[in-house]
Chains A and B, each alone.
Chain A
Amino acid sequence: MVNMDKILVVDDVTKEYPGRLAISKVSFAVNKGSIHGFLGPNGAGKSTTMKIIAGLMPSSSGSVSVLGEKVTPKNFKLKNLVGFLPENPPLYLDMTVEGYLKLVAKLHNVKNISTQVTKVIEELSLIEVRKRLIGNLSKGFKQRVGLAQALVYDAPFLILDEPTNGLDPQSVVELRDFIKRLSKEKTILFSSHVLPEVEQLCDQITIIHRGRIRATGDIHQIHQKFRQGLVIRIGIGEREVLPELSLFGKYEITSDILIGHERQFHIVFENDHDCRSDLGKFIISKGLNLLTMQVESPELEDIFLHLTENRS
C-alpha cells in the first residue's frame, strides 16, 4: 500500500559507476509538507542520490518512489511533479531570464505561461533582470533563475542541491527565507554544507557519508540519539582551580577558556543523569565562585562530525 504521508521513499538504492560505488543501499523517506535536509561532506553521494530521485539517472539497484509513482528516467508522469535545482543549474547563458523561463514552462506544458512566469519572476525578485541575458548575471541571480526554473511549473516536490552555495550573505538570507515560505505549500528536499542553515530550516535530516546513510529522521530525535552523555558549561573565577569531579562519574573536560574574568569549562559527563544541583553545591562547598552553569545540547555539527569522522 502506498503511504501518502511520505512524498518520497528511497529504498535500498545503490549506484555503481565502473570501478566505483557512488552510493550503497541508501534508504530514507521524506514526509509530505516537510523540509528535509540532506547532509554530507563533498563526494558523499548527495548529488548522485538527488539526480536519481529527480529521474536524471537510473540506480543500479533499489527503488525510488515519489507520490507513490516509481521513479525512472522514462516516467513522464513525474516530470511535472518534481522540481529540481541541480548544483550547477542548467541555464542557457544566451537567453534572457524571461525567455528561458518561458521555454521551461513550455517544455512542461504549463497552461498559463505568462502568468506563471511573471509570478515566479516576482517571487524571486527577478523583475529588474527579466530582460537581461542570463550569461551577464551575477552568481546570485543565476542561482535564483535556476530556482525559478524548478518552480515555474509548480511542482509539489522540490529537490534543491546546495541552493545557497557560493552566494553572498545577503542572498543566502533571502533565499533561506524564500525556502521557508515555500515549505508552506511544497515538500522540499535540500542539501547543504551549512549546518546551522539546516538546523534553522529543516524538520528532518538525513546524513550521508561515503555513499551510506549514517542517520535519518526527525532532527530532534537525532539530537537525542547521538547525545553523548551530559555536556555542562561551568564558569568559575579566573584564578580559581576546578576541583576533581569524579564523584559525579566519569567525565572529560573538552575546553577550558577565559572569558573576561571568568574561566569556562565544557565538561562531558558519561552519565546522562542531570547532576547540576549536586554539582553546584559541591563547587560552592569548595569555596569557589560559581558564575555559570548550563546544560548544553550537542550541535548538529558535533553529530555530523561524529558520524562522518568516527566511521571513516
Chain B
Amino acid sequence: MILTIWKKEIESYFTSPLAYVLIGLFSLITGIMFFNLLVTYTDGIQAIPQHMAQDISFVEEVVIRLFANINFLFLFFIPLMTMRLLSEEKKQATIDLFWLSPVKEWQVVLSKGLAALSLIFSMLLMTIIFPLIVWGVGIKDFSILGSAYLSVFLNACCYISMGLFFSSISHNQIIAGILSILGIIFLWMITWGGHLNSNYLVSEIFNYIGITSHFERILRGLIGTQDIIYYVTFVLFFGFLSVKSLGRRNW
C-alpha cells in the first residue's frame, strides 16, 4: 500500500514540471555556491605564504559552508514540495479515495513523506559531482563528506515531516507553504534564542529543541545518540500530528 501511494506521488512529481524545476534550480544554485566557495578557497590559499596554507582547511572553507548553504536552501525548496501533498488532496476531495479504501492515515502520511524525501535524495544526488570534480584536481580531504550528507538528509526529514503536518491542517497550499517556511525559521531561531540566553539550563534546553546544534554536530562528523534521538523524535512527533490531523474527520 505504501509503495503504491509512493509510486503515485513520484509519478505525480515527474508528470508535472515541478520536480524538474526544483532539481534544476537546486543544482544550478548549489553549483554556483560550490564554484564561489572553491574560488574563495583557492584565492585564500594563494594569497598567504605556503607554510600557512595548511591552516586553511578545505573541509571548513568549502564542505561545511556548502552543506550549511544547502540546509538554508531547504527553507524554500522543501515547503514547495510538501505544501500541496495533503492540502491539495483535501481541497480536491481526492483524499476520499484513500478513505474509501482500506488505507490507514499513517500509510498515507508515510508514503507522501517518503515521496518528498525521494525527491530530496535525487536533488542531493546531483551534488555528488562536486566531490568528484575536486577529487579530479587533487583535493582528497573528504573526511566528513558522509556525515555532511547525513546532516542535510536528516534536516530534510524534519522539514518534510513538519511541512506535511502544515499541509494536513490546511485546504490552501499557499498557507501550508508559508506555515512551513515560518516553522523552519522558528526551528533555527530557537537555537539563536539559546545563544542569547545567559541561563545555562535554559540555553541548553533551547539548544536541544532547536535543530541547528544537532545539525552542526553531525555536519562535523560528531554523531551522538542524543542527536539521533532528536531527529527520530522530531519526525515521529510531526508524523503523529499529521496522522491525527487527517483522522480529525472522524472526531
Interface residues of A (CB under 8 A from B): 54-58, 72-74, 76, 79-80, 82, 84, 86, 88, 90-92, 94-95, 99, 103-104, 106-109, 149
A58 contacts which of B1, B92, B101, B250 (Cβ < 8 Å)?
Answer: B250
B99 within 8 A of A: yes
For residue B101, which residues in chain A have a CB less than 8 angstroms away from its CB? 79-80, 104, 107-108
CA of A117 to CA of B92 in the docked complex: distance in angstroms?
24
What are 11 A-B pairs at a CB distance below 8 A? A56-B249, A73-B99, A73-B249, A74-B250, A76-B102, A79-B102, A95-B15, A103-B4, A104-B101, A106-B1, A106-B4
B100 within 8 A of A: yes
Chain B, Cβ-Cβ closest to A80: B102
For residue B96, which residues in chain A have a CB less than 8 angstroms away from its CB? 56, 86, 90
Interface pair B1/A107, CB less than 8 Å apart: yes
Interface pair A109/B249, CB less than 8 Å apart: no
CA of A86 to CA of B92 in the docked complex: distance in angstroms?
12
Interface pair B93/A94, CB less than 8 Å apart: no
Q: Which of B38-97 contact A (CB under 8 A)?
A: 92-97
CA of A149 to CA of B92 in the docked complex: distance in angstroms?
16
Interface pair B93/A90, CB less than 8 Å apart: yes
Chain A, Cβ-Cβ closest to B99: A56
For residue A80, which residues in chain B have a CB less than 8 angstroms away from its CB? 101-102
Number of A-B contacts (CB under 8 A): 63
CA of A86 to CA of B94 in the docked complex: distance in angstroms?
11
Q: Which of B212-251 contact A (CB under 8 A)?
A: 249-250
CA of A42 to CA of B15 in the docked complex: distance in angstroms?
38
For residue A86, which residues in chain B have a CB less than 8 angstroms away from its CB? 93, 96
Using known A-B contacts A94-B16, A103-B8, determine if residue A54 contacts B100 with beta carbons closer than 8 Å: yes
Interface pair B100/A84, CB less than 8 Å apart: yes
For residue A73, which residues in chain B have a CB less than 8 angstroms away from its CB? 99, 249-250
3 A-B pairs closest in CB distance: A107-B101, A76-B102, A79-B102
For residue B103, which residues in chain A have a CB less than 8 angstroms away from its CB? 107
Interface pair B99/A55, CB less than 8 Å apart: yes
CA of A84 to CA of B101 in the docked complex: distance in angstroms?
10
Given contacts A90-B95, A107-B101, 5 further A-B contacts (CB under 8 A): A56-B99, A58-B250, A80-B101, A90-B93, A95-B12
Using known A-B contacts A73-B250, A92-B94, determine if residue A79 contacts B8 with beta carbons closer than 8 Å: no
CA of A106 to CA of B1 in the docked complex: distance in angstroms?
8
